[in-house]
Amino acid sequence: MKRHIASLVVFLAAAPLWAASGETVLQERCAQCHDLTGPAPSTLEELWTRKGPDLFYAGVKYKPEWMERWLQNPSRIRPAGMFYGKHVRTGPDGQDVIDVASLVEHPRLSPGEAEAVTRVLMAKKATPAPVQEGAYQPGRISLRMGELMFDKFKGCLACHQIEPDYGGLSGPEVYTVTERLREDFLVAYLRDPQAFDPKIFMPNKKLKERDIQKFIHYFRALAQEVKP
């Protein structure tokens, strides 16, 4: 019995320390590139000099399982980094070429650090615009129809890749987006990207609610199809 009480005391004493260490890692190793408090950039200059995605509403945006995994083994999501204009050169035929040497590797965390940091980030819910629980209703769309919408009808492919090395370079790849981001967040973001990030150059295409749902069906189907 005594032993149980002793281990309980040790556990309770260690818990806050452990929680604090996620906060410490964030302050010491992440805050120089990520905004942890908000608000999002309100001028173009702030947008251009932003070094990493905003994390002050991470808890409404990201899937925690993905985040914990990615922080231990980060891979590139935005093919031309952040901000892409700094990492793209014009190639010999006038096409965009990524200056790979100018891209930096993302810091890598240990499993314990990744768990602690994810826990702290998931508590950050200062969302700039409402995200409605249950807004996404699972459904299906064929890859062919999805691609037609994404490319020909709405022109999204100009900025986003739908498989490695296929699509535009200025936005994040979308074939992993539903592994990374919560679907309910995606509904709100696709409805009005500037509500979350006032200066972002993703156009607001005034998508119909039905098309927003279809795009998310498409991203989920892509994630199944394209395993990078």
Least distance to ligand HEC, CB of residue 150, Å: 6
Least distance to ligand HEC, CB of residue 8, Å: 31
Residues that bind ligand HEC (CB under 6 A): 25, 29-30, 32-34, 51-53, 67, 71, 76-78, 81-82, 104, 106-107, 109, 117, 154-156, 158-160, 170-172, 174, 177, 180-181, 186, 189-190, 200-203, 205, 215
Q: CA 68 → CA 54, 60, 194, 211, distances in Å?
A: 17, 15, 27, 31
Beta bridge partners of 163: 166
Q: Are 213 and 134 in contact (CB under 8 A)?
A: no
Q: Which is nearer to ligand HEC, 5 or 186 (CB)?
A: 186
Cα–Cα dist 216/219, whole Å: 5
Q: Which is nearer to ligand HEC, 97 or 205 (CB)?
A: 205
Least distance to ligand HEC, CB of residue 203, Å: 5
Query: Which residues fall within 8 angstroms of residue 105, CB to CB, at 6 or more apart?
Result: 74
Q: Are 114 and 71 in contact (CB under 8 A)?
A: yes
Q: How many residues belong to the chain?
A: 228
Q: Which is nearer to ligand HEC, 91 or 203 (CB)?
A: 203
Q: Which is nearer to ligand HEC, 117 or 135 (CB)?
A: 117
What is the residue whose two structure tokens read 């100018």?
102
Q: Which is nearer to ligand HEC, 11 or 192 (CB)?
A: 192
Least distance to ligand HEC, CB of residue 9, Å: 31
**Token output for 152:** 């020909």
Q: Are 129 and 60 in contact (CB under 8 A)?
A: no
Least distance to ligand HEC, CB of residue 156, Å: 3
**Token output for 21:** 């260490």
